[in-house]
């Protein structure tokens, strides 16, 4: 027996109820995408020139134009499961750091909304520790008339997180490719090609005392190897560090001895 | 259709029969003629059908445009031809900023600051879609629309086989969601809707590679196949309302000619938004020539399917010159 067709008022009531339930479910789904941000979760390394996290997430329009201009594909758009803004770009420095091989922080130029910006409007939040004491000098451009990067704030700062793993501190050197055989990260080496980044692993090293973090760092005066009391050496991070993550990427130990603390400022 | 009525239907108002005083003398005369002379009408209908075989002309053109636009995004990045860089939320066409109106709105509400590029890009896109017909964005550009059309074919097949049935939602839902997502963006300072936007997720997946977000797209396609025909585009997506509002003032319309219509209703069966086609029901048209309302996506399926040429694309103020 066929069920009696609901009459008009009953159909309208059902349409309304479905709308109530469907609309509620969609709002809940939207909330589920937002809650991980409320609770903070993992702090991600944002591209150079990024506003403070709240402003960044509010203003990023998730178009990926920054992704398109990056010569080393350092920027990744967050996926649904990442829980911190689907479509908003971040950097996984260990996989692929920003090595500034574009010379001019092109991602900032590409951003249509000012989520990445050369000059932050005054009314937006700025933490003092994020401000660079001086415009960072890009070693690749050191002899150019304008050697600096147009970058007012750092995106993080490097830290020797696992000193016991650091090869220099153990007096060890490094021979061969910096990373495991399947590693695909790219880096620019001035002595190889001024304009074209190459796979990091295509550039083997042979050093008596490991200083890969120091020799790959693209910024002048950001990191140096200093003697320890016992006669060994240790990497020391200095104020010009912008937090690009090249040291973390190039560190040959597994896991990396030196890492970037995303969005942390400089504390002397 | 009057602007007010067009807006009322767009926002989710129920369709209603026109009052007797709404009819123009011309329309009244045509309705009367159709009632009087049934046999002559039948002959006219048979004759008209010969001249209008069903073709997928507009559908094919539209699919070609939709695929071309999305491929232009993809190849601009993949092949580095740099013509249309970015995604559907925001892009540069040969260097000129283009910003999706709904995304721009969400960002401005969340960020509470207006940026010059955003204003330029938004204004450009606004003018573009005023000229090109508002919700034409949905059917001619949005990649989800194409997938949903294919899911819809499957849904209609299953309905015919009596395996599933269509469950309608109240059309006011989209307006409520539009307001709530705008309020949420403002209150949370986060573009909440962007996480859910099928348009954005699909556009990015095409350009930057697939991700888990596609599961969300798949969920909606499945829902539309088994539960509710074209549910996302009909009842949920706030982007459609944003572009629909732009379409209130557009000269690009699907026009209806009462004299050519034999009220068979094929157009309403293929339409994504059949409430805009109420005027084709026998006795409903208040004028001899009418515009289909702002909620119309200008997809052209009705133009293709009409057996008597009563529905056609028109550009107001230009049609007389063409």
Say if A59 is an interface residue toward chain B (CB within 8 Å): yes
pLDDT winner (highest mean) among A3-12, B29-38, B126-135: B126-135
CA nearest B86 in A: which residue?
Answer: A65
pLDDT tens profile A37-53: 777 667 899 999 999 99
What ranges do the domains of chain A cover? 53-262
Distance CA A254, CA A257 (A): 8
Q: Taking CB atoms and an 8 Å limit, are A63 and B90 in contact across chains? A: yes
First to last CA, chain A: 82
Evaluate if residue A2 carries a pLDDT over 60: no
Decide if A145 contacts A137 (C-beta within 8 A): no
CA proximity to A160, closest of A96, A30, A255, A40: A255
Evaluate if residue A105 carries a pLDDT over 80: yes
What mean pLDDT comes out for the span A193-208? 94
Stronger pLDDT, B4 or B66, i.e. the higher one: B66
pLDDT tens profile B232-249: 999 999 999 999 999 898
* Residues of chain A positioned with their CB less than 8 A from the CB of B200: 62, 87
CA proximity to A213, closest of A242, A235, A197, A185: A235
Q: Taking CB atoms and an 8 Å limit, are B89 and A79 in contact across chains? A: no
pLDDT for A1 equals 43
Each residue of A80-93: b (16+ CB within 10 Å) or e? bebbbbbbbbbbbb
Stronger pLDDT, A31 or A209, i.e. the higher one: A209
Decide if B194 contacts B102 (C-beta within 8 A): no
Distance CA B269, CA A4 (A): 24
Evaluate if residue B322 carries a pLDDT over 70: no
Average pLDDT, chain B: 91
- Other beta carbons within 10 Å of A227: 9
Decide if B125 contacts B290 (C-beta within 8 A): no
Nearest by CB to B213, which of A19, A67, A86?
A86
pLDDT tens profile A149-197: 999 999 999 999 999 999 999 999 999 999 999 999 999 998 898 889 9
Q: Taking CB atoms and an 8 Å limit, are A19 and B169 in contact across chains? A: yes
Range scoring the smallest mean pLDDT among A121-125, B73-77, B238-242:
A121-125
Nearest by CB to B236, which of A11, A12, A26?
A26
- Other beta carbons within 10 Å of B175: 16
Using pLDDT thresholds of 50, 70 and 90, give the confidence band for residue B9.
Answer: very high
For testing contact with chain A, the best of B107, B118, B176, B231 (most A CBs within 10 A): B107
The length of chain B in residues reads 322
Using pLDDT thresholds of 50, 70 and 90, give the confidence band for residue A4.
Answer: low
- With helix as H, strand as E and coil as C, how does A14-79 read? HHHHHHHHHHHHHHHHHHHHHHHHHCCCCCCECCCCECCHHHHHHHCCCCCHHHHHCCCCCEEECC
pLDDT for A83 equals 67
Using pLDDT thresholds of 50, 70 and 90, give the confidence band for residue A34.
Answer: confident
pLDDT tens profile B21-73: 899 999 999 998 888 877 777 777 777 777 777 789 999 999 999 999 999 99
Stronger pLDDT, A257 or B80, i.e. the higher one: A257
What mean pLDDT comes out for the span A119-139? 91
pLDDT for A81 equals 75
Compute the nearest-CA separation of A80 from chain B (Å).
Answer: 5
Stated as kind and residue range, the H or E segment containing A173 is none
Stronger pLDDT, B108 or B115, i.e. the higher one: B108
Q: Taking CB atoms and an 8 Å limit, are B107 and A113 in contact across chains? A: yes
Distance CA B261, CA B209 (A): 47
Average pLDDT, chain A: 91
What mean pLDDT comes out for the span A121-143? 91
What is the secondary structure of B43-85 as a DSSP string? HHHHHHHHH-----HHHHHHHHHHHHHHHHHHHHHHS---SEE
Residue A255: is the preceding peptide bond cis (ω within 30°)? yes
pLDDT for B54 equals 78
């Amino acid at each position: 027996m066929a069920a009696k067709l609901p009459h008009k008022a009953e159909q309208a009531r059902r349409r309304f109820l479905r709308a109530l339930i469907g609309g509620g479910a969609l709002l809940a789904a939207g909330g589920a995408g937002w809650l991980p941000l409320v609770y903070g979760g993992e702090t991600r390394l944002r591209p150079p020139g990024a506003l403070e996290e709240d402003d960044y997430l509010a203003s990023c329009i998730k178009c990926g134009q920054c992704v398109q201009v990056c010569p080393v594909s350092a920027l990744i758009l967050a996926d649904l499961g990442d829980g911190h803004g689907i479509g908003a770009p971040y950097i996984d420095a260990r996989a692929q750091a920003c090595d500034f091989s574009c010379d001019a922080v092109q991602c900032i130029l590409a951003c249509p909304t000012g989520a990445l910006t050369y000059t932050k409007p005054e009314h937006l939040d700025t933490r003092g520790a994020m401000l660079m004491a001086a415009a960072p000098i890009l070693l690749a451009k050191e002899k150019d008339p304008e050697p600096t990067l147009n970058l007012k704030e750092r995106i993080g700062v490097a830290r020797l997180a696992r000193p016991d793993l650091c090869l220099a501190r153990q007096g060890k050197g490094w021979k061969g490719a910096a990373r495991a055989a399947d590693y695909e990260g790219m880096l620019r080496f001035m002595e190889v090609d001024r304009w074209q980044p190459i796979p990091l692993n295509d550039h083997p090293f042979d050093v008596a005392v490991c200083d890969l973090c120091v020799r790959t760092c693209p910024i002048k005066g950001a990191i140096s190897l200093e003697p320890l009391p016992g006669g060994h050496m240790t990497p020391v991070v200095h104020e010009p560090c912008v937090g690009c993550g090249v040291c973390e990427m190039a560190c040959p130990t597994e896991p990396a001895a030196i890492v970037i603390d995303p969005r942390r400022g400089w504390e002397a | 259709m009057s602007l007010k009525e067009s807006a009322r239907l767009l926002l989710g108002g129920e369709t209603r029969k026109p009052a007797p005083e709404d009819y123009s003398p011309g329309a009244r005369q045509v309705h009367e003629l159709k009632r009087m002379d049934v046999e002559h009408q039948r002959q006219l209908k048979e004759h008209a059908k010969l001249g209008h075989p069903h073709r997928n002309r507009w559908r094919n053109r539209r699919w070609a445009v939709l695929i071309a636009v999305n491929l232009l995004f993809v190849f601009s990045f993949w092949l580095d031809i740099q013509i249309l860089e970015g995604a559907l939320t925001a892009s540069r066409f040969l260097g000129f900023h283009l910003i999706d109106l709904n995304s721009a709105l969400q960002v401005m509400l969340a960020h509470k600051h207006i940026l010059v590029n955003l204003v330029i890009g938004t204004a450009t896109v606004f003018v573009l879609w005023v000229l090109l017909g508002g919700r034409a964005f949905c059917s001619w550009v949005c990649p989800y629309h194409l997938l949903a059309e294919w899911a819809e074919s499957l849904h209609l097949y299953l309905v015919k086989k009596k395996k599933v049935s269509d469950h309608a939602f109240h059309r006011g839902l989209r307006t409520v969601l539009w307001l709530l997502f705008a309020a949420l963006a403002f209150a949370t300072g986060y573009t909440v809707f962007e996480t859910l936007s099928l348009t954005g997720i699909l556009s990015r997946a095409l350009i930057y590679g697939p991700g888990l977000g596609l599961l969300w797209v798949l969920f909606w396609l499945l829902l539309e196949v088994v539960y509710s025909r074209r549910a996302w585009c009909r009842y949920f997506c706030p982007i459609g309302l944003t572009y629909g509002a732009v379409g209130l003032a557009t000269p690009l319309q699907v026009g209806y000619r009462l004299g050519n219509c034999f009220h068979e209703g094929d157009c309403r069966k293929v339409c994504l938004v059949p409430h805009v086609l109420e005027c084709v029901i026998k006795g409903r048209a208040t004028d001899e020539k009418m515009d289909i309302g702002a909620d119309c996506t200008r997809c052209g399926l009705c133009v293709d399917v009409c057996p008597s040429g009563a529905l056609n694309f028109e550009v107001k103020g230009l049609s007389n010159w063409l």
